[in-house]
């Protein structure tokens, strides 16, 4: 398995822990509010962004490879 795939799987595993237990469980239920959203909701939103960036980096690292394959 390529190193970038291993790294990505680590990020994916971390995001699962961050978005369920223990990540979400450790946060205060409401305060502080970020962009008007309670802390857990803002936390989830930021992990959406992290996952997006991780996928984007993976995609760019693979370049246009695989296009029109087969």
Partner 1 sequence: MSGPGAELWIPLGYLALVLTVGLLSARKTTRSVTGFVAGDRAMNVLVLYFVLGAAIFSSFAFLGAPGWAYSRGAAAYFILVYGALGLVPMYFLGPRARRLGQRFGFVTQAEMLAHRFRSPALSVVMAVLSIVIFIPYLVLQMKGAGFILEVVSGGRIPIWAGALLTYTVVTVYVFHSGVMGVGWTSMLQGIFMMILAWGLGLYLPQALFGGVEEMFRALDSEGFREALTPPGLMGDGRPWHWPGFASAVLVTALGFSCWPHFFMKAFAARSDRAIRMTVVMYPSFQIFLIPILLIGFAGILAYPGVSPADTILPHVLINASLPAWIVGIACAGTLAASMSSGDAILHAAASIGVRDGVRPLRDRPLSDAAERRVIRWLVLVMASVSYYFAVWSTVPLVDLLVGAYGAVAQIMPLMLAALYWRRATPAGAMWGLLGGLGVNTLFLVFPELRPWPVHEGVYGLVANVGLLVGLSLAGRPMAEGHLGEYFRAMGSGRGAGAPDA
3-state DSSP of the chain: CCHHHHHHHHHHHHHHHHHCCCHHHHCCCCCCCECCECHHHHHHHHHHHHHHHHHHHHHHHCCCCCCCCC
CB closer to partner 1, 7 vs 19: 19
* Site membership for partner 1, residue 10 (CB under 8 A): no
- Which residues from 23-42 bind partner 1, rule CB under 8 A? 24-25, 27, 29-30, 33, 35-38, 40-41
State the residues that interact with partner 1 by CB under 8 A: 2, 12, 15-16, 19-21, 24-25, 27, 29-30, 33, 35-38, 40-41, 44-45, 47-49, 51-52, 55-56, 58-59, 62-70
């Amino acid at each position: 398995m390529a190193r970038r795939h291993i790294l990505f799987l680590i990020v994916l595993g971390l995001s699962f822990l961050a978005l369920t237990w223990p990540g979400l469980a450790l946060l205060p239920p409401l305060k502080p509010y970020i962009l008007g959203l309670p802390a857990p909701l803002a936390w989830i939103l930021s992990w959406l962004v992290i996952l997006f960036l991780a996928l984007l980096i993976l995609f760019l690292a693979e370049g246009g490879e695989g296009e029109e394959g087969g």
